[in-house]
Amino acid sequence: MKYRSTRGGIKGVSLEEAIYTGFASDGGLLLPETLPVIDRSQLKLWAQQPDYRSLACKIVPLFAGDELSQEDLEGILDRAYSSISAPEKIPIRRLSNNLIIAELFHGRTWSFKDYAMSVMGQLLEHFLSRAKKHRTLLIADGSSDDMDDLFSHIYADEKFVKQHNISSLNSVNWGRIMLQIVHYFYIYLQIEESCEKELEIVVPTGGCGNVTAGCIAKLMGLPIRLTSCVNENDTVDRLIKTGTLSLNPVKQTISPSLDIQMPYNMERIWFLLNNGDGEMINKIMTELKTHSKCQLPDSLHTELTKIFGSFSADEDAIKSTIKRCYDENKYTICPHTAVGVAYHYHQLQKNTEADVKRVELATASPAKFPEALGLAGVPPTEGLPQYQMDNLEKGDDWLKALKQTIISIDERWTV
């Protein structure tokens, strides 16, 4: 499998190179040159062994080709997934009022990202030790704004980036998207074992990495539809409803990981839906950069609405959803998950329930957000993440601290 850029300027990139890369050098994002197709009979075969690791062992090779042996892949996945504490990896909770929750937060940082990140770490180690190279990785946890600002300063220093061989593992990186595709197949097969029906998957959305993985799963043949849910930073909701993407100032909310205006992975979705027309993507992105606004061609907007619905939840809706879910089920959700569950409750009110089941992706543990739970009037959940230590605080010089850390890591490699 080879990779190409959404702006049409780069082709023939290997998986190994793709996972070292953030933005491609033409400014675009990397995607496979072709998508594998899983027809219904193949899906039914996979349904006979639908555990998470087995599915990953089948899906990753579709995108890795001959770059990874099955034996190496199995070792990588075993080491990575041993850090996910739930035996079934993604527990599925069936609650009242047809609410189904897929808990994607049983990894080290109690966030959905852990599932892909744990494998990315192992994959990088594998590729780097095979090539006898080293890379400096930037891995950080904080609000999207904080991180974007920090990383854009690091990346603006081209000399520093080259000198220290820096890569980042945010969802600009293809590897993250590839590994998240597994979630969609796994969740679908847990809920629609017969593989006959469509399933609606509701995704709390920020930079659109997660929904991009869902879109690829859909284009590979998985019978799903996607609903992208946002907080008051509602760029994606307005885009899907109107075909216009316009950027407003970022609002701080109680679901901070969704406090992002620029859905940078949308470019991947557009490229997948416009038959790989990089020139069109270039035009749209230039318009966006110049005017902080762009209009999708009608044909592309139509394709987008065939796959995606959308919803935006304000702060009150997020709080009342956390409370209602707790009151009805004694089950606590985080404020990001609540954005999607608010959509479910909204649909119940409309009383338009069709035959299609709906599952909500729970993208973080409620234990990480005691303040939001307090504001919603529900008790905090037990246990705090063990990884919380030595955090930098607002006001600390993050940029200086990060650069210093990178330099000292590099020094260890060069002595």
Ligand X SMILES: Cc1ncc(COP(=O)(O)O)c(C=O)c1O
Which of 235, 257, 261, 312 binds ligand X (CB under 6 A)? It is 257
When binding is defined by CB under 6 A, the residue of 5, 109, 168, 171 that contacts ligand X is: 171
Residues in region 88-117 near ligand X by CB under 6 A: 111
Nearest to ligand X of 89, 164 (CB atom): 89
Residue 133's identity, in one-letter code, is K
**DSSP assignments along 147-194, one per residue:** HHHHHHHHHH-HHHHHHHTEEE-STTSHHHHHHHHHHHHHHHHHH-TT
Size of the site for ligand X (CB under 6 A): 14
Q: Which of 28/204 has CB closer to ligand X? A: 204
The span from the CA of 406 to the CA of 8, in Å, is 33
CA distances to 35, 313, 331, 344, 354 from 96, rounded to whole Å, are: 37, 21, 10, 12, 17
Looking at the Cβ atoms of 56 and 266, the one nearer to ligand X is: 266
As measured in angstroms, the least distance from the Cβ of 207 to ligand X is 3
Rounded distance between C-alpha atoms, residue 271 and residue 358, angstroms: 27
Contact letters for ligand X, residues 32-61 (x by CB under 6 A): ------------------------------
Please state at what angle helix 335-350 crosses helix 315-329, rounded to 10 degrees: 80
- Our CB check for ligand X shows the closer of 5 and 265 to be 265
CB-based contact 11:157 (threshold 8 Å): no
Q: What share of the chain is helix, strand, coil (3-state, %, to 5)?
A: 50, 15, 35
Near ligand X in 373-402, by CB under 6 A: none
Q: How far is the CB of 336 from ligand X (least distance, A)?
A: 4
Q: Which is nearer to ligand X, 175 or 204 (CB)?
A: 204
From residue 285 to residue 324, the character string flagging contacts with ligand X as x (rule: CB under 6 A) and all else as - is ----------------------------------------
Shortest separation between residue 65's beta carbon and ligand X, angstroms: 25
Question: By C-alpha distance, which of 230, 229, 224 is closest to 200?
Answer: 224
| CB-nearer residue toward ligand X: 218 or 336 | 336
Closest distance to ligand X from the beta carbon of 372 (Å): 12
- Return d(Cα 300, Cα 313) in angstroms, integer: 25
Binding track, positions 193-232, relative to ligand X; x by CB under 6 A: -----------xxxxxxx----------------------
Return d(Cα 12, Cα 132) in angstroms, integer: 23
Dist CA 164 CA 383 (whole Å): 38
The least CB distance from residue 365 to ligand X, in Å, is: 9
Residues in a beta bridge with 78: none
Cβ distance to ligand X smaller for residue 127 or 398 = 398
Q: Collapse the DSSP code of 247 into the 3-class scheme (helix H, G, I; strand E, B; otherwise coil) and give the result.
A: coil
The binding track of 335-374 with respect to ligand X, each residue x by CB under 6 A or -, is -x--------------------------xx----------
Contact call for residues 80 and 118 (beta carbons, < 8 A): yes
**Closer by beta carbon to ligand X, 236 or else 296:** 236
Q: Please enumerate in sequence order all residues whose Cβ is within 8 A of that of 196, keeping only pairs 6 or more positions apart, or say none.
A: none
**Total Cβ atoms within 10 A of residue 386:** 9
Q: How far is the CB of 110 from ligand X (least distance, A)?
A: 9
Binding site for ligand X (CB under 6 A): 111, 171, 204-210, 257-258, 336, 363-364
